[in-house]
Amino acid sequence: MKTHRKMLLPLIVLIITAITPQRTKAQDLSGSISISGAFALYPITVKWAEEFKKAHPKVKIDIQAGGAGKGITDVLSKVTDIGLVSRDLNNAELKKKAFAIAVTKDAVIPTISAASPYKAVLYKRGIKKEALNNIFITGKYKTWNALGFKNTAAIHVYTRSDAAGAAETWAHYFGKKQEDLQGVAVFGDPGLAEAVKRDPSGLGFNNIVYIYDTKTNKPTNGLVPVPIDLNNNGKLDPDENFYNDIDQLIAAIVAGKYPSPPARDLYFVTNGKPNNPIVKAFLKYILTDGQKYVTEAGYIKLSKDKLKKELDKAK
């Protein structure tokens, strides 16, 4: 027995020695990174940063919202390490070495105020894509009676003033660009949500997390999603009515019932392939352990295959 113990002791020491440097390296990760960009990604990025810093207390992560346009501009000009971008990159950005890694998914949803007098009827009829196009793009529909209501009040249309992935995605749903959108321009997701919330005649659009309360899973932030009549039959069928809570909506997006766009992937963008050790570690965390916070924060998980693909890109 003594002989076996003498043989085992060096082996145990070797194992401990091999493991210890790796642990020390993880614990000793220190420094700072800066992030700016899409309002759509801001809430979940803050959560990811908080959890990441629990394991790496010497790391500082500065995060600022300001729209996808700011995110891509900042990262390409090397003002920040990461840009939060809520749309696909264009060819000009790719030529400038913008490197995108998908981290989660969400959707842009048309919205009205919870105090809207049109809410009940809209949840019986839905609203056709063509009608939304005539409101947000052509401007042909200017009053609520154009949608079949007796009320001749003007439709107060709201859009984004900042270069926004949400606005670009919403416009892309109609085959257009953000600058083609009609309406009063308001800065940021929170600003647009507040403008529509306060206006019973208003119509706008927001990302999921600015419509639903992630604690109750209900649209209780003063906004109500506008259901889309996807099959254009003039009524909201049961399989089109998935806006009651965030879980129903996410399931509809995953199943492909809600169209893409306006559903879309959300990206962390770096200037070229990431080589900063903190950025790489943060990305690895987000695409692995950090995914457990995605659903509870009101976002949609990427598939396992997609996560593996994005993780390979980040290495």
Q: Where are the domains of the chain?
A: 30-105+265-314, 107-263
- Structural domain 30-105+265-314, CATH architecture: 3-Layer(aba) Sandwich (3.40)
130 contact partners, CB below 8 Å, separation of at least 6: 232
Give the pLDDT of the chain (315 residues) as one tens digit per residue. Answer: 444 444 444 444 334 344 444 443 545 789 999 999 999 999 999 999 999 999 999 999 999 999 999 999 999 999 999 999 999 999 999 999 999 999 999 999 999 999 999 999 999 999 999 999 999 999 999 999 999 998 889 999 999 999 999 999 999 999 999 999 999 999 999 999 999 999 999 999 999 999 999 889 999 779 999 999 999 999 999 999 999 999 999 999 999 999 999 999 999 999 999 999 999 999 999 999 999 999 999 999 999 999 999 999 988
Tokens in use for 301? Answer: 């998980």
Closest CA to 161 of 187, 182, 135: 187
Judge if 30-105+265-314 and 107-263 fold alike in CATH terms.
yes
Estimate the crossing angle of helix 277-287 against helix 304-314, to 10 degrees.
170
Cα–Cα distance between 72 and 100 in angstroms, integer?
10
Q: Does pTM surpass 0.85?
A: yes
- pLDDT for 119: 95
- pLDDT for 315: 85
Cα–Cα distance between 86 and 84 in angstroms, integer?
7
- pLDDT for 27: 54
Estimate the crossing angle of helix 165-172 against helix 68-76, to 10 degrees.
120
| Cβ–Cβ under 8 Å, residues 300 and 75 | no
107-263 is a CATH 3.40.190.10 domain: yes
